[in-house]
Amino acid sequence: MIVRRTVLLLAWALLCGVTFGQGAASAQKHVVFKVETPFQMGGAVSDSAKLNDYFVKIGSLEGIQIGAVMNVYREKEIEAEFGNFTIKIMMFIGRMKAFEVQEKYTIGRLLDLATTSDPHRERNAVMLGDFVQPVFVVTSETLFDQGSDVLRPEAIRQLERAAAFIRKFRPQKVRIEGHTDNVGEEDINLALSERRADSVRRYMVTQGKFKEGLFITAGYGESKPIASNNTSQGQRKNRRFEIVIER
């Protein structure tokens, strides 16, 4: 019974759009420590959290440059229904872009929010204590033909850019994530995203000359959209790869 409840709890966490944060604890140093709203900056009050300035404890000394894109996460604890322990999970909140960079901190503004049914997420999209991880994003069409996990010859240019992105940060751990839209069978999309993520990892090791232990891979299929799948433009955004600097 305990094992069954554990499986159900883990399944619930995944369905809620969260991931188990292997790099969450080490990433806490890159926290959001200050938020300035347009009202505080002398402007009108706005309902959009995208107009806020978010101050983050990561700067040029750690490789951030103006224009850098960062994923925003929130660490959360879920109490188990049995036993005396909690499970730490990492929720994806959205994505921000750096528009001012100092040595030890960055000011960013939101680009996208994670899709969610929570009506309060927009106003409170990013909170103090949330943390960021630099990310390199590329659309799947650039790397693979439809339904294939074999890298296209044209993918080399983008993968070389991704390799340069990784070297800039000199990380200890990098996460390669594969994502799809919701077209087709869910289990097929999941398996395809996993195989594609592994193809990218193999290229980085064999051609990029990175150590194999640097990478972890994850295929999420259609479970983590960053845009609506109701439009072709949104579907294209969701068909993507993310190379995330964990630490």
The per-residue pLDDT of the chain, averaged, comes to: 82
Lowest-pLDDT choice from 3-17, 36-50, 53-67, 70-84? 3-17
Residue 79, SS3 per DSSP = strand
Q: What is the distance, to the nearest Å, from the Cα of residue 245 to the centroid of all Cα atoms in its chain? A: 9
What was the pLDDT predicted at 211? 94
Q: Which residue has the higher pLDDT, 120 or 100?
A: 100
* Model confidence pLDDT, tens digit, residues 127-180: 899 999 999 999 998 899 988 999 999 899 999 999 999 999 989 999 999 999
Domains along the sequence of the chain with CATH:
2-245 (3.30.1330.60)
Q: How far is CA 201 from CA 51, 77, 149, 218, in A?
A: 36, 30, 12, 10
Task: Record the pTM.
Answer: 0.78
What was the pLDDT predicted at 49? 78
What was the pLDDT predicted at 89? 78
What angle do helix axes 186-206 and 155-169 make, rounded to 10 degrees? 70
What was the pLDDT predicted at 159? 94
Q: Which residues pair with 53 in a beta bridge?
A: 36
What was the pLDDT predicted at 114? 73
Cβ(215)–Cβ(201) below 8 Å: yes
Cβ(79)–Cβ(86) below 8 Å: yes
How many angstroms separate the first and last alpha carbons of the chain?
37
